[in-house]
Amino acid sequence: MADKVTYSQDMLDPQVLADMIPAELTAQMKFTGLAAVDSTLEGRPGTTVEFPAWNYIGDAQDVKEGEPIETSSLTYGSKAATIKEIGKGGSITDQALLTGYGDPYGELSSQIAKAMANKVDNDVLATLKGATQNVTVPATVDGIQDALDIYNDEDDSRIVLLVSPKAAGQLRLKAGKDWLRGTQLGSDALTKGVYGDILGVQLVRSRKLDANEAYLVKVDDSNKPAIKLMMKRGVQIEPDRVPKLRRTDIYATSYYAPYLYDPTKVVKVTFSDVTGKAGMTGAPENKEVNNEVTNVDEDKRIGKQKKTTGTTGKKPGEV
């Protein structure tokens, strides 16, 4: 009778689970931070805010001695903005909580919060897409200057260029010595994630933008920001216990709406010489369950992943 040997594939080889990886957005939220929060409606009745503004009565005029001075009347104009409701919900059973690996409840709560924040960020981007000032230029230093000339003003407001990674890389290469790295800006950086500076314009990259799409936005501390985020109520998360079904539902809601408060401070830029991918929403693709092992050749594996028969044709355990 042949001697028997115990091999690794004969042993109980438990599958070890690595820590659960939380779902992450595929594009960071870069737009919400550029909007000024407007809390006019918070704690007050109503869904719409009207913004009246005085019109100018006109410059003074030359007058001759003894002639009457014509009078001008005050007039005003106005615009309005309203709000909407957004929401997201998730549900999990007691059995899933008791038997599931990782922290299903914590992950569900975290993802709902991310979903709400990403929705706001995408809504602010959608507001930027409604810019009334547009220009098409090459992705060069001269092109950036041509885009800045659209402002045609005299103030020295600081400006951010929201741009795709593809266009940002092209601008950096063409800027040469005119390029200033984001790390060199220090406290002068206008927002998180500044990539660099050209002509005093700070570049912020976002994969939510098409390859040739960009937005110049004036950022200052005045009472007339480019974008306002009207908040009626911030995010409210409410758990709902359903004992009959041994289930917990989690809901998140918010009442808000972004709007282009000062259209003169935003310029939509299209780069004529940049091609590439379309922008994304930031939502990651779903992952599939696929535990097929491919990192080690089949004849070199050990344990339960090892071949059940060798080249000799003998069964495991035989010599």
The mean pLDDT value for 269-296 works out to 82
Please indicate, yes or no, if residue 108 is contained in any of the structural domains. yes
Higher pLDDT, 109 or 129: 129
pLDDT of the residue at 9? 54
Q: What's the structural domain count of the chain?
A: 1
Please indicate, yes or no, if residue 246 is contained in any of the structural domains. yes
Q: Does an H or E element contain 257, and which?
A: strand 247-260
Query: In angstroms, rounded to a whole number, what is the distance separating the alpha carbons of residues 116 and 125?
Result: 15
Structural domain harbouring 143? 32-55+79-271
> Which residues, 6+ apart, have CB-to-CB distance to 259 below 8 Å?
81, 127, 227, 228, 230
Higher pLDDT, 130 or 51: 130
- CA torsion sign, 150 to 156 to 157 to 160? positive
Please indicate, yes or no, if residue 126 is contained in any of the structural domains. yes
Label residue 269 exposed, middle or buried (CB < 10 Å: 0-12, 13-18, 19+): buried
- CA torsion sign, 271 to 273 to 278 to 282? negative
Please indicate, yes or no, if residue 1 is contained in any of the structural domains. no
Please indicate, yes or no, if residue 279 is contained in any of the structural domains. no
Please indicate, yes or no, if residue 290 is contained in any of the structural domains. no
Q: Are 81 and 262 in contact (CB under 8 A)?
A: no
Gap between the terminal Cα atoms of the chain: 10
Query: In angstroms, rounded to a whole number, what is the distance separating the alpha carbons of residues 145 and 67?
Result: 49
Is pLDDT of 316 > 90?
no
pLDDT band at 15, cuts 50/70/90?
very low
The amino acid that residue 241 corresponds to is: R
Please indicate, yes or no, if residue 128 is contained in any of the structural domains. yes
pLDDT band at 234, cuts 50/70/90?
confident
Q: What is the pLDDT of residues 69-108, one digit of tens each?
A: 888 998 988 888 888 999 999 998 988 888 877 788 888 8
For the chain, give the percent of residues with pLDDT over 70: 82
Please indicate, yes or no, if residue 66 is contained in any of the structural domains. no
Averaged confidence pLDDT in the chain? 81
The amino acid that residue 307 corresponds to is: K
pLDDT of the residue at 221? 65
The mean pLDDT value for 217-238 works out to 84
The mean pLDDT value for 245-256 works out to 90
Return the closest-CA partner of residue 265 out of 100, 108, 185, 151.
151
Is pLDDT of 185 > 90?
no
pLDDT of the residue at 57? 87
pLDDT of the residue at 24? 58
